[in-house]
Chains A and B, each alone.
Chain A
Amino acid sequence: MAQYNVTGIVLRRVPYGETDNIITLYTRERGRVSAIAKGARKPISRLAGACETLTCGRYNLAGGKSLDIVTQAEVKDAFPSLRKDLSRLAGAQYLAEALNHFVVEEDAHPDLFTLLRAGLLLMERADDPQTAVRWYELRLLELAGYGPDLCSCVICGETVPRDNASQTDIYALSVANGGALCTDHANPNGYEDHAALTFDALDYLQHLNAHGLEHIRAVAKIPSPSEATAGLARMALRRTIRWRIDGDLRSAPFMDSLLSPGRPPDETSPHQSTVA
């Protein structure tokens, strides 16, 4: 049996049999890997801690018949503050689920590992966890090859916002084309593909998008925008992700109910989008 060491984060843990867990790891070295952690649900198991969801660890895996087997595991970071804050813990679960949807088995992409780790650190520390989620979504889309161009109109190429922009301008994000739309081409009520963005919402997303993986300290300090801006940014990225994975992330409604209370639940039909 070939053995190998990886550093990874547990995306998902599913109980198996009497005391085992099947874990899905996102590893720096090999991308997504699934493995069985035998006995990990016994309280005295030495695998239990490291095989818990949202734990970063070092894992020794051995090739098994169908699934690899976790032979040793050591916790590197259990992100303990997440366990004390319900909305941040809900956000962290969303980050893990989102990444899981954009990756396939055994396809190494170290930047995605870095992103997930940064996302979990941000969920622990960011001043505004909702802003941290939006930044993570932008970076995830980019690393998956779907990063939206937020600085020029996908139809005419004009720079957005325009030079003499006014606060009342309405822009949009084209969900299918993955890019911004200028005031002339944005038709938030006419096309189901257009997610409306106010001047402030566009500005907010551009600001987030300018922060790369190396800027997480700065991202942690970005203050929360107005409720209207946060809502439009959330909707635009949610719809972009829905378009890319052709479905909804299951943990989104629970996270939204905690991070954006008072907002109407995320629409399931992409047809209505109005400017708040």
Chain B
Amino acid sequence: MSTHYAKPLARLVGEFEKLPGIGPKSAQRLAFHVLRIPEDEAHALAAAIVDVRTTIKYCRVCGNFTDQDTCFICTDPRRDQSLMCIVAEARDLIAMEKTNEFRGVYHVLQGVISPMEGVGPDRLRIAELQDRLSGGIVREVILATNPTVEGDTTAMYLARNIIKPLDPSIKITRIAHGMPAGGDLDYADQATLISALEWRRELT
């Protein structure tokens, strides 16, 4: 590669190639794009990358990304501290926030239990969760992990092995799964239909 590019360009292409989902072709396209944009935009891009790395850290309470000690959700007095939504990753928290429906607080596990990949419960933010739940403030926990093998494993583990033994009076719920909005019943597979039936709701 270095034989085809000037050295600084080769370096940039090389850096882009390290990004997830970026192959050599895309890396070259991005690098050429950077060469075409005005110089101040290039500076802004470089500064944003450095800035995010130096200022963003994990919220001390919930594990969300923040530039403060505690994130804006945890410090918001209008948030219902008795209702906690547990998510695997900060990006899941953002997805939930985009609904504008949830008014409780979050706990970000920063991963899921993935036995086959060697990720056990000890690698997740479970000690922090136990600390928060033992305060007696949280009355309901919503487990919002994906309906995958790893997501189900994590949700069942938290419910049975962590939350129930700690405080059996905490209500534990799991987000519903079944038919996606805009989905076609005719094409739904067995697993989806079983979930959809199980999580059905009475119409009133």
Taking Cβ atoms with an 8 Å cutoff, the residues of A that contact B are: 12-13, 16-18, 43-44, 46, 49-50, 52-55, 74-75, 77-78, 80, 83-86, 89-90, 93-94, 96-97, 250-251, 253-255
Contacts and interface: CB of A to CB of B under 8 A. Distances in A.
Contact of A49 (B21, B153, B181, B190): B190
Interface stretch (B71-79, B114-122, B136-144): B114-122
Given A52-B148, A52-B149, A93-B149, A77 B190 contact: yes
Contacts of B180: 43-44
B103 interface: no
Contacts of A97: 115-116
Interface in B185-204: 187-192, 194
Contacts of A17: 20-21
Contacts of B165: none
B113 A254 contact: yes
A45 B160 CA distance: 31
Nearest to A250: B118
Contact of B148 (A53, A74, A254): A53
> Which among B121, B148, B189 has the greatest number of chain A C-beta atoms within 10 A?
B189
B38 interface: no
B189 A49 contact: yes
Nearest to A53: B149
B47 interface: no
Most A Cβ at <10 Å: residue of B20, B21, B187, B191? B191
Interface string B170-185: 0000000000111100
B120 A254 contact: yes
Contacts, number: 77
Instruction: Decide if the interface of chain A is mainly helix, strand, loop or mixed.
Output: mixed
A253 B189 CA distance: 32
B48 interface: no
Given A18-B21, A86-B157, A89-B149, A52 B191 contact: yes
Given A55-B191, A75-B191, A86-B161, 18 more contacts: A18-B21, A49-B189, A49-B190, A52-B148, A53-B116, A53-B148, A78-B190, A78-B191, A86-B153, A86-B157, A89-B152, A93-B115, A93-B153, A97-B115, A250-B116, A253-B120, A254-B115, A254-B120
Interface string B21-39: 1000000000000000000
A50 B189 contact: yes
A11 to B, nearest CB: 8
Nearest to B20: A17
Contacts of B182: 44
Contacts of B189: 49-50, 74-75, 78
